[in-house]
Every structure is written in structure tokens, then in C-alpha cells.
Amino acid sequence: MTTLLKVQNLRKSFGGVAATDDVNLDVTEGELHAIIGPNGAGKTTLITQLSGAQKPDSGSVTFKGTNITRAPAHARAKLGITRSFQITSLVMDMSVMDNVALAVQAKEGHSFRFLKPARKVKNLRDEAREMLVQVGLGDRADEPTIELSHGEHRLMEIAIALASGAELMLLDEPMAGLGSEESAKMVSFLLGLKGEKTILLIEHDMDAVFALADRISVLVYGKIIATGTPDEIRNNDDVRHAYLGEE
Amino acid sequence: MTGFKRSSWITLATMVGLLILPPVFFWTGNAFYLDLATRLVILGIAATSLNLVLGYGGLISFGHAAYIGIGAYAVGIPVYHEFYGGFESVASTNGLFQIGMAVVISALFALITGAISLRTKGVYFIMITMAFAQMAYYLFISLDEYGGDDGLVIEVRSELPLINLDNPIQLYLVCWVSLAAAMLIVRTIIHSRFGMVLQGAKGNNERMVTLGYNTYLYRLVAYVISGAMAGFAGALMGNFSSFISPEMMAWSRSGELMFMVILGGSATTLGPVLGSMVFIVVEEVLSSFTIYWHLPFGLMLIGIVLYVRGGLMGLFKGKGD
């Protein structure tokens, strides 16, 4: 198993607060690696530094052997990293299909193509439809995105991440705000992706995390206090004390 | 009729009306209305070009009048120097040289100012585009050679092969064809893959960047295309009015272009043209009653912005659209 993503000594502070405090993390190809931690532990801040939306103060991020610490977000996406958003981030005034097709289109290299109508480019549409069918939104493809429910928006986020063809998917709380039935659906869907995609998952739902993850890292106040298999984490005293003990 | 939306029919009808009615007015002895129509069609081209960045790109450029000025001066300055492209043999087509200059210089101005402006967002973008336009405005005021703020009379209109712009009907038809072409170009662009990225970045820039699009570059290209088209409209404006002055690029002129786009309906094909029609007609009618016509005009604009979603085109929107 090769290491796909390597994070070394990553630091980021806002004012006096260290949101990311000397984080070291390896994500192995094909694994589902979960990051858990109490509210305000710096999980989303960590994701933004991996996706490129924010730059760390120091430390390095290496993806497939390339140092991408300073690479802008769009360049990282081209290399094969995609993220979903904790707070749904879609183009609301476009159709469901258009949103996913834009993700497929992003793989084409560049989009300085001015003549042919994008909605008539068959391979874009076909691939996007395939992704929507996969997440169970095939019949809602032509509706305006804004008409869909929150749960469906979460599924769109996943469809877009899949459609972008990224090797590494950074999923920021895909279950956020979902009802128990929708959550269960999402878990079974992510289970189906295991092995196909490398996933770094941030999630609050502990049942989901322990059902899905190959390895878990626990982030508390910007520091990773433990990394291991679900069983190791469950039995780790520090983790119990810092995190699970609160529940 | 399936496949052809109500708004498309309205667009078609409006364009046919614009093609036929003004020449008819001219031939029946109302030459003034042809003049009015020529001006509105030229402003329609400029508003259409602004709509590409403002309506579809969400980039509120407050400096598009600068391109009209640049385009017009690109016609006026060579005429002033009696410079017809340098070759007597092609002198008869100096219009192509002038219009070419108008487009190229406008595109360059858009490239340079856009490259800087697009690094900012929101209100800052509005202010910086306006500041660049004001720079162009004061530059031409300071050029005494070309009349400073008194402006400059263009003695000879652009000469084009087979077309005589001194003939008002021919000039009008050139403007009409240009408007139709501009609408078609913008429509093609916005439906293309490029256009989808541009509109996606308007709706959710962060999402588009996360997908791997360098949205800055896409916006810059749209800005340059828009500037070049507005410069072309400026070249027509110079030919139409036979007179150029820095006043053409004052910030209030940029504001009027924004009015037209928003009044007519931004992000629609016909909206900017409707906006320029209403603007010209209302200006004409109201200003014949009172010199304070800006007041009722402003109230009308506020009313439309507040109560009609999507401008005048919003009024025509059928359920299926």
C-alpha cells in the first residue's frame, strides 16, 4: 500500500489560537481514513489546507510525491483531490445535471471552448447522468438545484466529488443535517465506494465513522492525539478521556 | 410550440420590428426616428456586451462607457491625422482599420484593467472598474490636440467596401446586423462549455475552484471579449454621431449602460436591447415634458427593480421558461 497523501508538521493559527497544531497524517491509497474530534477541534480547517482553500503557516502537504503545500485549489483539483463541503456548496441556480456535468467537464483539461453548446456534449451529459443514477438522483437531473431537499443536496455533493474523478475525496461531514434514514443510505453508499476511492472523512456521527473507517485519527484542539484502527481508537485511554468519555 | 420558448419569440419579433420600422419611419419623412433607433441599437450592442460580464458573469463592471469612448476615438483620431492605414491602395477600406483598432485597443484595455480589477470582489470590483474608466476619461480631457473636453468632430465617416456609412439607412443596417451578431455571439458563448464555467463561477465561485477551474482566467477572457464588443459599439457610435468627446466615457454613461441591462433583464438575450429601447424612448418622451426627466426615470427604474424580478424580460416570462 502506498501513501497517497502525506501531511507533515502542519501548523495554522488564527490570532493566538492554533487551529492546526503540528499535524502529521498519512492517508494510504484505497483506505477510508476518518478524522474525528469535538467541535472546534480544527477538522474543517485541516480540510481547507488539504484542498488549498487556505494555506498553512508552516509544514508540508505531499500528494503522490508532489509537494502541494503552496499549490492553489484549482491546481490540486487537477492533480486529483476533491472535497465536499460541510455546508452544501452547489451552484443553486443551475440544474442538478449542470452541476454534475461541470464536474465532469473539469477533467477535460481546459474549458476555453466557445462554440458547441455544453448541454449537447454527449460524453459530459452521459457521465454526469451515470453519477446521478449512482447516488439515486437520476430522476431529478433536470430540476433546478434549489428545488431539491437538503438530503438530496448532500448526495449531489457526493455525485460531484465522484464525477470529478478525483483519487482522493475529502468529505467534510457528508451526513451533516441528515435524518437517520438518509444517514443510513449515505453510509451504505460510502461503504460501496470503499476500496475504489481513497477517502478522508470528517464526521460527527460516531456510528457511521466506526462502521466505515479503516483507520481513524482523533483531532483535539488542533493536535492529533491518536491514529489507529477503529478498535484501537475505541480502546485508547487518551481518546476515551479527551473525547469519547464526554458522551 | 415546443423547443422554442416564449422569450425567444419575443426576441425574434423585437428584432424584426427593429429591422423594419425605423427605415419605414425614415422613408415616410420621419428621419429623426431612424436617428433615435440607430443610437438605441448601438447602445444595445454595448449593453449586450456588458450583459456578458454583468448578467452571466456576475461581474458588476461600472466602466463600460470607457470602451465606447475608446472605440469612437479609434475612428476619430486617424481621421484627424488624415491617416488611412498608410496605404493609398487600401485607403478606401480605412473603416476596417479603424474598427480593427477600436476592437484591439479596447481588448487590450480590458485585458490590462481586467487583470487587475478581477483580483478584487464585490464593491471593490465596481469601484476599481469605475476608476479605470475615469482614468481614460481624464486622459482624453487632457489631450488638447483632440479638443480636450470640447471633443472632436469626425470629418469623414469610416469607409467600408460596398457600404456607405453616410447613408443613414445603410449605417442603420450595419448597426442592426452588428447587434444581431452581438446577441448571437453572447448567446453562443453562454451556452458553451466556457459559458457554463462563467455562470458556475457567478453562482458559486468556491465550488468551481474546487472542481479545478481557474475562474480568474475564465472571467478575464469574458471581460476581454466584452470590452472588445463594447469597443466595436464605440466605433459605430463615432460614425453615427460624427463627433467624439470625453463625455462619452463619463461614469454616468457607464451607469446608464448598467441601467439598460438591469432594466431590460440581465442574463437574458433580449434584456439589454429592451433596456436600451426603453431608456432611449423614455428619455426622449420625458425630456420633452421637463428638463428634470431624470427624476421620474429614476423612480421608474426603482419600481422595476423592486417589483419585477428579472427586469422587463421578467414580465414576459411564461411558466415554461
Reported as a single tens digit per residue, the pLDDT across A48-67 is 999 999 999 999 999 999 99
Q: In chain A, which among 35-64 make CB contacts under 8 A with chain B?
A: 51, 53
B92 within some domain? yes
Cβ–Cβ gap B192/A90 under 8 Å: no
CA distance A125 to A131: 10
CA distance A178 to A138: 20
Taking CA atoms, A93 is separated from A90, A97, B199, B202, B207, in Å, by 9, 12, 9, 10, 13
| 3-class SS shares of chain A: helix, strand, coil, % to 5 | 40, 30, 30
Closest partner residue to B196 among A90, A98, A115, by Cβ? Answer: A98
Q: Which fold has domain A81-165?
A: Rossmann fold (3.40.50)
Cβ–Cβ gap A111/B194 under 8 Å: yes
CATH class entry, domain A1-71+170-177+200-247: alpha beta
- At residue A207 the predicted structure's pLDDT band, cuts being 50, 70 and 90, is confident
Nearest CA in chain B to A75: B212
Give contacts of A73 with chain B, Cβ < 8 Å.
Answer: 209-210
B321 within some domain? no
B137 within some domain? yes
> A122 to chain B nearest CA, in Å?
12
Reported as a single tens digit per residue, the pLDDT across A138-149 is 999 999 999 999
Q: Decide if A1-71+170-177+200-247 and A81-165 have a common fold.
A: yes
> B42 to chain A nearest CA, in Å?
24
CA distance A17 to A108: 41
Q: What's the pTM value of the predicted model, to 2 decimals?
A: 0.90
Cell of A212: 466505515
| Assembly ipTM | 0.87
Q: What is the per-residue pLDDT for B100?
A: 92
pLDDT cut 90: percent of chain A above it = 71
B1 within some domain? no
- Give residues with Cβ within 8 angstroms of B120, minimum separation 6: B128
Tens of pLDDT, residue by residue, chain B (321 residues): 445 788 889 999 999 999 999 999 999 999 999 999 999 999 999 999 999 999 999 999 999 999 999 999 999 998 888 776 555 555 556 888 899 999 999 999 999 999 999 999 999 999 999 999 999 999 999 998 898 889 999 988 888 888 899 999 999 999 999 999 999 999 999 999 999 999 999 999 999 999 999 999 999 999 999 999 999 999 999 999 999 999 999 999 999 999 999 999 999 999 999 999 999 998 899 888 888 888 888 888 888 888 887 888 888 775 444
Give contacts of B215 with chain A, Cβ < 8 Å.
Answer: 74
Check which CATH number belongs to the domain holding B88 and give it.
Answer: 1.10.3470
pLDDT surpasses 70 at A245: no
CB contact at 8 A, A111 and A164: no
> B204 to chain A nearest CA, in Å?
5
Closest partner residue to B206 among A82, A89, A124, by Cβ? Answer: A89
Domain boundaries defined on chain A: 1-71+170-177+200-247, 81-165
Summarize the confidence of residues A192-207 as an average pLDDT.
Answer: 90
Q: What is the per-residue pLDDT for B81?
A: 83
- Give residues with Cβ within 8 angstroms of B207, minimum separation 6: A85, A89, A90, A91, B200
Summarize the confidence of residues A28-35 as an average pLDDT.
Answer: 94
Reported as a single tens digit per residue, the pLDDT across A165-194 is 889 999 999 988 888 888 988 999 999 998
Three-state secondary structure of chain B: CCCCCHHHHHHHHHHHHHHHHHHHHHHCCCHHHHHHHHHHHHHHHHHHHHHHHHHHCCCCCCCCHHHHHHHHHHHHHHHHCCCCCCCHHHHHHHHHHHHHHHHHHHHHHHHHHHHHHCCCCHHHHHHHHHHHHHHHHHHHHHCHHHCHHHCEECCCCCEECCEECCCHHHHHHHHHHHHHHHHHHHHHHHHEHHHHHHHHHHHCHHHHHHHCCCHHHHHHHHHHHHHHHHHHHHHHHHHHHCEECHHHHCHHHHHHHHHHHHHHCCCCCCHHHHHHHHHHHHHHHHHHHCCCCHHHHHHHHHHHHHHCCCHHHHHHCCCCC
CB contact at 8 A, A27 and A168: yes
Reported for A135-142, long-range contacts at CB under 8 A and 24+ positions apart, including other chains, are: A135/A159, A135/A162, A135/A189, A136/A185, A137/A96, A140/A96, A141/A95, A141/A96, A141/A97, A142/A95, A142/A96, A142/A97
Q: What is the per-residue pLDDT for B269?
A: 95
Is the CB of A102 inside 8 Å of chain B's CB atoms?
yes
Cell of B311: 427586469
Question: Range with the lowest mean pLDDT among A40-44, A242-246, B20-24, B155-159?
Answer: A242-246
Q: What is the per-residue pLDDT for B6?
A: 83
Q: What is the per-residue pLDDT for B320?
A: 42
Closest partner residue to B204 among A89, A103, A117, by Cβ? Answer: A89
Q: What is the per-residue pLDDT for B311?
A: 85
Structural domain tally of chain B? 1
Q: What is the per-residue pLDDT for B88?
A: 53
Summarize the confidence of residues A13-30 as an average pLDDT.
Answer: 92
Closest partner residue to B197 among A111, A116, A124, by Cβ? Answer: A111
Three-class SS state of A122:
helix
pLDDT surpasses 90 at A247: no
B311 within some domain? yes
Residue A23 backbone dihedrals phi, psi, to 5 degrees: -85, 130
Give contacts of A44 with chain B, Cβ < 8 Å.
Answer: none
- Domain range for B301: 6-316
Give contacts of B194 with chain A, Cβ < 8 Å.
Answer: 111-114
Three-class SS state of A229:
coil
Q: What is the per-residue pLDDT for B321?
A: 45
